[in-house]
Amino acid sequence: MPDATGLELIAQRVRESVGDDSVTDTIFYRGRATLDVAPQSVHDVIAYLRDDDQEPWDRLMSLHGVDYLPAEPRLGVHYELLSMERADRFNVRTRVGVEDPRLPTVVDVHPTANFQEREVYDMFGVVFEGHPDLRRILMPEDYEGYPQRRDFPMGGEPVIYTFNEPKLPRWYD
């Protein structure tokens, strides 16, 4: 991970190249450097960090969603970047609200994001615009709701056993 100064330098370079409003915050905590990015510019920032930065972050190792309930905006998407050359990691994060969350896809920059964006869509309902095949991946295709959101109840659906099957007629519909 870059140190706190390194993080500010990266943030400065991103602001100069991608746009002033692209970086919203920098967080350095417990040795983890996080660059907070505005939702609309996340694709450009990831592409810039991969191709044009003087210290490129060329690999996306993990893309995952998180629900920051009760903080606003609630949903967050993390991009865990890696530089194999320097054996170093860097974290880019973006925050979107729970109402109609939309983000540009990064599949064209990092093809590995394909399954992982589908998982975030499946679990949190974040729509990745421009994703080639945005469908649910782990839950059934006709499933309603986004189970990893914090306000989704645990055990929120009936589970069929032999003892309660008669009480749930036509549960298979």
Query: Phi, psi (5° rounding) for residue 49?
Result: -65, -30
Q: Are strands 23-29 and 32-37 parallel, antiparallel or unpaired?
A: antiparallel
Q: Which is nearer to another protein, 19 or 80 (CB)?
A: 80
Single out the residue of 151, 118, 154, 123 nearest to residue 135, CA to CA: 118
Helix/strand/coil for 170: coil
Q: Which is nearer to another protein, 155 or 169 (CB)?
A: 155
Among the candidate windows 8-16, 85-93, 95-103, 163-171, which touches another protein by CB under 8 A?
Answer: 85-93
Identity (one letter) of the amino acid at 173? Answer: D
Count of residues engaged in binding another protein, rule: CB under 8 A: 38
CA geometry: angle at 37 spanning 105 and 24, to 5°?
155
In the block, tokens 């417990």 appear at 30
Among the candidate windows 16-24, 98-106, 114-122, 160-168, which touches another protein by CB under 8 A?
Answer: 114-122
Burial class (CB in 10 A: 0-12, 13-18, 19+), 127: middle
Q: Is 150 a binder of another protein (CB under 8 A)?
A: yes
Residue from 22, 91, 94, 105 touching another protein (CB under 8 A): that is 91
Identity (one letter) of the amino acid at 28? Answer: F
Window 27-66: residues binding another protein (CB under 8 A): 29-32, 34, 59-62, 64-66
Q: Is 139 a binder of another protein (CB under 8 A)?
A: yes
- Positions touching another protein (CB under 8 A) are 29-32, 34, 59-62, 64-68, 78, 80, 84, 87, 89, 91, 110-112, 114-116, 119, 123, 136-140, 147-148, 150, 152, 154
